[in-house]
Amino acid sequence: MISHKTIIQVILLSLSISILTGCKEKAINPEDDIPLFKDFIERNIDKVADDPYISSTVRPESEMYEVLLDLQRGIPCDDKIQQRFSKLMSKGNEHAMIIKARSGLLNIEKRSYWASVLTDLMEKGNPYAAYWLSSKSNICHMYLGSRNLGNKVAKDLGLDTSYENKYCTEAIYQKAVEGFKKLAAEGDLRAQYFLLKDKGLDKSVEKREEYIKEVIRFAESHCYKPLMDYTSSLRKQTKEGRVFSTEKLKILSLDLFRVASNNYYIPAMSKLVYYERDNTVLFDRLKKSGGRNYFWAMAFDRSNELTTRDKYCHALLYEKIYRDVDFYSFDSDWPKKDDFDEEICEIDKEIDEMKPMIYIDYFTKSDNWGQG
């Protein structure tokens, strides 16, 4: 006969298996998202926006447009850019002050000053300033945290390090959250997305459908960062790089890229050209939107379509936009900078025809500023 002890062990084992099985069943299966996107994709996949700035963080008439465009392009800081920042800061533009402060924290001699600038803005209620001084801020831990080795150097130099142990706290983060709640209530989509992630909605199994509906809501308002973050979560790391977890998720992602690309969103176009290398319309749209990946995609995938003159003008246009000479002598059959006269290219006309959209925003980390 089976003993009571054995029976109890069998029951406990069965319960354990049931619990583990239940946990597995609750794991997120992204393929279940596909039906939720069906109507959104069908409504939008063939719509091409008339407005090239429809998905831009700011428009050309904004005083922050040129500042963000230079940052997005990774343009080295020069006197002209410094003057632009100084002008905006003298007018009390808080976004310009925060961007300048974030980069200014790298300077050990000016660190205390820029920390005080962010502090003043935080105390005035600016949630972005609070965020960059909070426990969730990478630059806070890197430059203002008590474990930062640079602080010892600063002390040895006799510099002010009173900022130690004052920042990078959860209390400051909660102050940022409260500020973003106010912006979100006023309709600020980026603040709303910040709060969505703060609540962990993007990681929740139970609220998966609610999360997907929010991603769609943002995209319907031409805010595509949530959608791009979503598609990024559908990839896995392999020896060959990051690839889509399944073929169905790849198809879903490409459709979502197409929707965002039709609305001139550079990050989506930059992804899509990798898969649609013969899509001339897409390449042209990416070029006119000012996307850096246009230049690389043309050089790697379609250089056989370019004459030697075309290649020279391609390299010259890139130099004029990004102040970089990467494409001169890009390959053995690419011309050098002095092989032609610049007048053979209509560079000014091409630049005038461009309508660069801005996809970075005030949450974008500084190491991602110059990716576009």
Of 184, 200, 220, the domain-final residue: 184
Residues 320, 205 within the same domain: yes
Q: How far apart, in whole angstroms, are the C-alpha atoms of residue 11 and residue 49?
A: 61
What does each C-alpha distance from 303 to 150, 223, 269, 270, 309 come to in angstroms?
46, 33, 19, 17, 12
Predicted pLDDT of residue 5: 53
Place of tokens 């032609």: 340
Q: Can you name the residues that pair with 214 across neighbouring β-strands?
A: none
The 3-state secondary structure of the chain reads: CCCHHHHHHHHHHHHHHHHHHHHHHHCCCHHHHHHHHHHHHHHHCCCCCCCCCCCCCCCCCCCCHHHHHHHHHCCCCCHHHHHHHHHHHHCCCHHHHHHHHHHHCCCCCCHHHHHHHHHHHHHCCCHHHHHHCECCCHHHHHHCCCCCHHHHHHHHCCCCCCCCCCCCEHHHHHHHHHHHHHHHHCCCHHHHHHHHHHCCHHHCCCCHHHHHHHHHHHHHCCCCHHHHHHHHCCEEEECCEEEECCHHHHHHHHHHHHHHHCCCCHHHHHHHHHHCCCCHHHHHHHHHCCCHHHHHHHHHHCHHHCCHHHHHHHHHHHHHHHCCCCCCCCCCCCCCCCCCCHHHCCHHHHHHHCCCCCCCCCCCCHHHHHHC
Q: How far apart, in whole angstroms, are the C-alpha atoms of residue 230 and residue 201?
A: 12
The pLDDT-based confidence of 2 (bands split at 50, 70, 90) is: low
Residues 151, 274 within the same domain: no
Q: Which residues contact 178 (CB under 8 A, 6 or more apart)?
A: 127
Provide φ and ψ at 300, rounded to 5°.
-85, -40
The pLDDT-based confidence of 159 (bands split at 50, 70, 90) is: confident
Is residue 297, in this structure, part of any structural domain at all?
yes
Residue 160 clears pLDDT 80, i.e. is over it: no
Is residue 72, in this structure, part of any structural domain at all?
no
Predicted pLDDT of residue 241: 83
Provide φ and ψ at 331, rounded to 5°.
-140, 175
Residues 205, 140 within the same domain: no
Q: How far apart, in whole angstroms, are the C-alpha atoms of residue 163 and residue 243?
A: 43
Of 155, 184, 213, the domain-final residue: 184
Residue 119 clears pLDDT 60, i.e. is over it: yes
For the segment 184-199, what is each residue's pLDDT rounded down to a tens digit?
A: 999 999 999 999 999 9
What mean pLDDT is predicted for residues 290-318? 95
What mean pLDDT is predicted for residues 130-159? 83
Residues 303, 207 within the same domain: yes
For the segment 234-255, what is each residue's pLDDT rounded down to a tens digit?
A: 998 888 788 899 999 999 999 9
Residues 236, 168 within the same domain: no
Residues 331, 223 within the same domain: yes
Residue 308 clears pLDDT 60, i.e. is over it: yes
Is residue 75, in this structure, part of any structural domain at all?
no
Q: How far apart, in whole angstroms, are the C-alpha atoms of residue 121 and residue 127?
A: 8
Predicted pLDDT of residue 77: 86
Contact 192, 213 (CB under 8 A): no
Residues 174, 196 within the same domain: no
Q: How far apart, in whole angstroms, are the C-alpha atoms of residue 241 and residue 248?
A: 19
Predicted pLDDT of residue 158: 74
Residues 200, 308 within the same domain: yes
Q: How far apart, in whole angstroms, are the C-alpha atoms of residue 73 and residue 372?
A: 5
The tally of domains found in the chain comes to: 2
Residue 329 clears pLDDT 80, i.e. is over it: yes
Residues 204, 135 within the same domain: no
pTM exceeding the 0.85 threshold for the entire prediction: yes
- When the pLDDT of each residue in the chain is averaged and rounded to a whole number, the result is 91
Full domain range(s) for residue 254 = 187-365
For the segment 13-24, what is each residue's pLDDT rounded down to a tens digit?
A: 555 555 555 545
Q: How far apart, in whole angstroms, are the C-alpha atoms of residue 197 and residue 160?
A: 36
Q: How far apart, in whole angstroms, are the C-alpha atoms of residue 87 and residue 77?
A: 15
What mean pLDDT is predicted for residues 154-173? 81
For the segment 65-107, what is each residue's pLDDT rounded down to a tens digit?
A: 999 999 999 988 889 999 999 999 999 999 999 999 999 999 9
- The two tokens of residue 350 are 């091409």
Residue 4 clears pLDDT 80, i.e. is over it: no
**Which amino acid is located at 315 in the chain?**
A
Is residue 12, in this structure, part of any structural domain at all?
no
Other Cβ atoms less than 10 A from the Cβ of 255: the count is 18
Of 150, 184, 218, the domain-final residue: 184
Predicted pLDDT of residue 6: 56
* Strands 235-238 and 241-244, sheet pairing: antiparallel
The pLDDT-based confidence of 366 (bands split at 50, 70, 90) is: confident
